[in-house]
Amino acid sequence: MTAYSLDHVTMAFGGRRRKVTALESLTLHIGEHERWGIVGESGSGKTSLLKILAGLIRPTSGVVHFLGRDLDHANREAMASLRASVQMVFQDPRSSLNPRMRISEIISEPLRSPLLKGRVDVPTNPETRVSEVLDAVGLPPDAATRFPHEFSGGQRQRIALARALAPRPRILLADEPVSSLDVSVRAHVLNLLNSLVDSMGLTLIMVTHDLAVVRHTCDHVGVLQQGILVESGKVLEVMNHPKQEYTQELLNAVPRIKESG
């Protein structure tokens, strides 16, 4: 089944005088259990695309289908099913976790959402679910009673991941999940993300500017340049034989340790 199917989606901001087109006539099909990496520089429309997929904004024109249903904001049923089965991890765990809430409250908050009412597989006991997901992301059980500031950047991103996984989503959206982390911490979080997506059978859609991360984590990639999807397909095909100069440029920009000093 296709998770998302986008047909000629255009997203424009601003009025008549200064119109910015963030996405232009984008057509993309994302199957369930696929792992997509969306790459491009700042301003290429990555975040707009992610917001459309999360149902946070509606496209100016074009059609989005979610699990076969037309995702018109008037279609309440489709929106409800989207909100019940999609979760998101944000770029900066310093700003995406409420500093005044304990970790247990942060993680269990999505479980209390009325949007989940229609679903049968929602965890019923928030406390057990909190300790389950904390364990899944490799944090000690006593983390539940602490506050976000007591954790390092990598640990906070684990908490954000735990919160996203708590209501058993089918689809996980991630906006630059490792770009604010140290290189040494990045490996931990990527390993975790990989194994969780595997074991829970999630569909992953990750936005990033780092092609090395996409190559490692995803099986499909879409390259955005100034709002236009210039290239998309299987990761290895695109990376080994990029058809676009822009894709090659992105590939070259990945910092690597030089073989000879």
Partner 1 sequence: MSLLDVKDLSVSFGRHRTRVLDHACLSLEPGQRLGFVGASGSGKTVLASAIMGLLPENAHVEGSIVFQGQELTALTDRVFSAIRGRNLSMVFQEPMTALDPTMKVGRQAAELIGLHRETSTMATRQRVEQIFDRVGLDHASRIADAYPHELSGGQRQRVVIAMALMNNPAMVICDEPTTALDATVQAKVLSLLDEELAGVNAACLFISHDLGLVSRICTDVAVIHAGKIVERGSAAQVFMNPQHPYTAGLVATASIDAVEPGTRLPVIEDFFDPRQEQ
The contact set with partner 1 (CB under 8 A) reads: 41-42, 152-153, 182-188, 190-191, 194-195, 209-213, 215-217, 235-236, 249-250, 252-258, 260-261
* Chain center to CA of 54: 9
The tokens of 98 are what? 């409420």
CB of 80 to partner 1, least distance (A): 33
CB of 164 to partner 1, least distance (A): 21
CB of 95 to partner 1, least distance (A): 14
Using the Cα atoms of residue 153, residue 154, residue 156 and residue 161 in order, give the sign of their dihedral.
Answer: positive
Contact 202, 170 (CB under 8 A): yes
Residues 6+ apart with CB under 8 A from 7: 27, 62, 63, 64, 65
Nearer to partner 1, 185 or 228 (CB): 185
The tokens of 132 are what? 């389950």
For residue 253, how many other CB atoms are within 10 A of its CB? 11
Nearer to partner 1, 165 or 211 (CB): 211
CB of 73 to partner 1, least distance (A): 31
Nearer to partner 1, 101 or 212 (CB): 212
Nearer to partner 1, 124 or 184 (CB): 184
CB of 165 to partner 1, least distance (A): 19
CB of 132 to partner 1, least distance (A): 22
Nearer to partner 1, 127 or 249 (CB): 249
DSSP 162: H
Residue 221: helix, strand or coil by DSSP?
strand
CA–CA distance from 101 to each of 35, 125, 146, 148, 193 (Å)? 32, 19, 9, 8, 24
Element (H, E) at 233: strand 228-234
Contact 179, 90 (CB under 8 A): no
Residue 253: helix, strand or coil by DSSP?
coil
Nearer to partner 1, 59 or 242 (CB): 242
CB of 111 to partner 1, least distance (A): 30
Nearer to partner 1, 4 or 246 (CB): 246
